[in-house]
Amino acid sequence: MITDEPRVRRQRRSLSGWGRTCPSVADVVPAGSADQTIAASPAVIARGLGRSYGDAAQSAGGAVLDATSLPRVFELDESSAVLRVDAGISLEDILRRIIPLGFFVPVTPGTSRVTVGGAIASDVHGKNHHKDGSFANHVTELTLLTPTGPRRLRPDDESAPFFWATAGGMGLTGFITEATISLQRVETGLIASDTTREPDLDAVMQRLVDVDRSSGYSVAWVDGLAKGRSFGRGVVNSGDHAPLDAIQPDQRPTARRYDPGVVSLPPLPYPQPPGIAMKAFNELWYRASRPGHRVESITSFFHPLDALANWNLVYGHRGFLQWQFAVPDGNESLIAESLQRLATTDGTRPTLIVLKRFGAAGRGHLSFPIPGWTLAVDLPVNGTALRATLNDLDAKVVAAGGRLYLAKDSRVRRELIPHMYPRLDEWRSLRNELDPDGRFVSDLSRRLHLTIFDQEHVTE
Amino acid sequence: MNDPFGIPETVLILGATSEIATDMAVTLANNGSRHFVLAARSIERLDDLARRLTDAGARSVDRVAFDATDLDSNQGTVRQIFADHASIDLAIVAFGLLDTGVSAGEISAVDVAMVNYVGAVSVMEPMAEAMVGQGHGVIAVLSSVAAERPRGSNRLYASAKAGLDSYSRGLGDALADDGVRVLVVRPGFVHTRMTEGLEPAPLSVHPPAVSDALMKGLTGRRTVVWAPPPVRLLMSVLRHLPTGIYRRITAGR
């Protein structure tokens, strides 16, 4: 059969997020065919390294643009510390090339295996949010492929509204193909860090407030499985890039080395680990976190889980959720209540809990961080009792003026979204200008009615 | 889409007036399903269920006239339902016809084979096609433990369900890479209008037990679920009994 259609290499594949719940099948298309694909597909979304936990980078029955196949662009201006890259490059690959030259990315999330496009679309944050804000704060220009043509967007000129609709816009404004980022200068590829163990949640929070005054990076890990008085105990890590003179002279020649080792699990359908294993993991983490000052690697400080490439398999074949919210200061009790509720929900084992303070909010309409606290909890799927608990807690987050992180979500009730993101309608209007036919669609946007002006509002 | 707990947002039920289907629908609504498309021979008989679903939190309930024996129009009906809805996340094939018991009346042998097997295949083929296009979906099929081994008295029903059961498992295998899952639900004896007047078999249950099996099937990755679960063991024993013993045990049933 002869067709006029230009040949596009496409592969039908089942895709899911990092949490491995809710898979759907779509045509995966290399980024080189983005123009034709956007023109021809009624539903298209970009996908990077698949690290969003829910359904943001999949589009059932549609086309998914594989951003990691973008042609390689890498232009570093060392005098101005500005880097222009294709949006499909990972932070890990960037770090490999820039750390030896004395640079560091402006913001890194808890894994280095995200693409620049994904980092912008989710407007990711890192351990320096209290000081430096989220990723998009450090992007000076990006190229966006839209159904109405390519756009060059900047944060402060007449294209700014579209830039900020794209930063945190979950890939729904178009396909980010290139970005220019301001880098940090660093003397070494090491972190001078301090670790403390705190006996309870109040102490963890107090310590986070204290270290944020002086440290550039901070984060707390909380044990949600310990019983009684130890409930909410935690480990607080803080640190800054180590200056060269903080390093032992004999180690200075290798101080700019960045070479994260990685192992993979064979891709088998692992059973969900029993509660006792998860408790043991938490106990071990607590005990293994030696208090004190040390100089450690980028990977051990920022990306400890990256050492096991597919650690998401460990939670078992039913997958897991990550529930992450942000609330303003004054809602400390909601954090304690959330942990209590989750720990006592039938079948639920909150396994990895991370607490952090946020600084000023970004300018993105759907950007997640707001000043205050953020809590992230890994929750292996085991029974449906968790569903009701999370629905209750979501309502309390909204009542507290907080929100959930779309890059992590797989289950929030859609009625809550306009309350969590009050600028949603403004974002929808901007999005509609870029994509009037609504071609950019993901399972996330369908589930939450993100791109359509919606009539379903909260009634209770 | 189904959420991480396996709860579908939009549910299509063919044969929605059956008591098992009604209980499944209400259970799904109580667990968070929001949109329902109910298909049955007489849509007037769906009023009560529609009200119960709305009370349980459903946002929309559509009613569609559907007759499983109307083979010429089944494909069109199913295609239209999928065209009218952004996505059908779970489709339940719940209609069936039993030729024994007080409701049997004038049911012919061919009717039983027609409704339970041919009728089901006629809707599941277009359903599968539409779900492959969607890139996701679950088809839940009401089979029966009778599919495992017929008795003299239920040979028509049992053989038709055996055909349906076999077709469904094959369909599930065919669609495994397309993001579509077929879930076979095998209830034992269920107390309903359909079985009224029949002597209950061992391990008999009421409709909520079948809903439990469905919900369990939605959250896991199983392809066959049983209601109640132990009936699986019972059938496994019965299936392997020598004919003579089997006939003696089932005589008069």
In this complex, the residue of B31, B136, B177 whose CB is nearest that of residue A384 is: B31
Q: Which residue has the higher pLDDT, A7 or A88?
A: A88
CB burial string A172-194: b at 16+ within 10 A, e below: bbbbbbbbbbebbebbbbbbbbb
Note the pLDDT of residue B105: 67
B residues 137-196 closer than 8 Å to A (CB)? 177-179
pLDDT at B101: 61
Q: Is B57 on the interface with A (CB under 8 A)?
A: no
Burial B1-36 (b: 16+ CB within 10 A, else e): bbbbbbbbbbbbbbbbbbbbbbbbbbbbbebbbbbb
Q: How far apart are CA B144 and CA B190, in angstroms?
A: 10
* Optimal mutation site among A18, A24, A444, interface B, most CBs of chain B within 10 A: A24
* Cβ <8 Å between B32 and A55: no
Tokens of A207: 């310590």
User: What is the pLDDT at residue A2?
Assistant: 43
pLDDT value at residue A458: 40
Please compute the mean of the pLDDT values over residues A330-352 and round it to a whole number.
93
Say whether pLDDT at A342 is over 60.
yes
Query: What confidence tens digit (pLDDT) does each residue in B162-176 have?
Result: 999 999 999 999 999
Closest-CA residue to B10 (of B27, B29, B34, B39)? B34
Place of tokens 């034709």: A36
Q: At residue A123, what are phi and psi to the nearest 5 degrees?
A: 40, 65
Residue among A247, A67, A217 nearest A142 (CA):
A67
| B204 touching A (Cβ < 8 Å) | no
The C-alpha atoms of residue A31 and residue A27 are separated, in whole angstroms, by: 12
Give the model confidence (pLDDT) of A212-259 as tens digits.
Answer: 999 999 999 999 888 888 888 999 999 999 999 988 888 888 899 998
Locate A264 and state its tokens.
């993979």
Q: Which of A202, A200, A101, A180 is nearest to A135 (CA)?
A: A180
Q: What is the 8-class DSSP label of residue A247?
A: S
Cα(A298)–Cα(A95) distance, rounded to whole angstroms? 10
Helix, strand, coil tally for chain A in percent (to 5) = 35, 25, 45
pTM: 0.93
Identify residue A184 by its one-letter amino acid code.
Q
Q: Is B86 on the interface with A (CB under 8 A)?
A: yes
> Could you read off the pLDDT of A394-426 as tens digits, one per residue?
999 999 999 999 999 999 999 999 999 999 999
Domains of chain B in start order, with CATH, are 10-250 (3.40.50.720)
Q: What is the pLDDT of residue A1?
A: 40
Half-sphere exposure of A405 (CA within 13 A, CB side): 24
What's the confidence (pLDDT) of residue A8?
65
What was the pLDDT predicted at B220?
79
| Domain regions of chain A by residue span | 190-411
Q: What is the pLDDT of residue A137?
A: 98
Do B96 and B116 contact (CB within 8 A), yes or no? Answer: yes
Q: How far is B154 from chain A (nearest CA, A)?
A: 37
Tell me whether residues A55 and B1 touch, CB distance under 8 A. yes
Which of A328, A337, A414 has its CA nearest to residue A377?
Answer: A337
Can B246 be counted among the known catalytic residues?
Answer: no
Q: What is the pLDDT of residue B18?
A: 94
Q: Is residue B64 classed as helix, strand or coil in its secondary structure?
A: strand
Residue A323, beta-bridge partner list: A377
Contact across the interface for A318 and B220, Cβ inside 8 Å: yes
Quote the pLDDT of residue B103: 58
Check: CB of residue B131 under 8 Å from CB of residue B180.
yes
- How is B21-47 classified by DSSP, letter by letter? HHHHHHHHHHTT--EEEEEES-GGGGH
Of the CATH numbers 3.20.20.140, 3.40.718.10, 3.30.70.2520, 3.40.640.10, which one belongs to the domain with range A190-411? 3.30.70.2520
The residue type found at A215 is S
Tokens linked to A402: 């907080």
As a whole number, the mean pLDDT across chain A is: 93
SS3 B156: helix
B106 close to A (CB below 8 A): no
> What backbone torsions phi and psi does residue B62 show, to the nearest 5 degrees?
-100, 145
- For residue range B37-50, list pLDDT tens digits in order: 999 999 999 999 99
CA-atom Rg of chain B in angstroms:
17
Alpha carbon B18 to chain centroid, angstroms: 10
- Collapse the DSSP code of A365 into the 3-class scheme (helix H, G, I; strand E, B; otherwise coil) and give the result: coil
Sequence-ordered strand ranges (E) for A18-104:
24-30, 44-47, 63-66, 74-77, 82-86, 103-104
- Count of residues making up chain A: 460
Q: Do B135 and A22 touch (CB under 8 A)?
A: no
Neighbours of B177 (CB within 10 A): 12
What is the pLDDT at residue A118?
98
Contact A341, A380 (CB under 8 A): no
pLDDT greater than 80 at residue B195: yes
Tell me if chain A has a CB within 8 Å of the CB of B215: yes
Strands A103-104 vs A184-185: parallel, antiparallel or unpaired: antiparallel
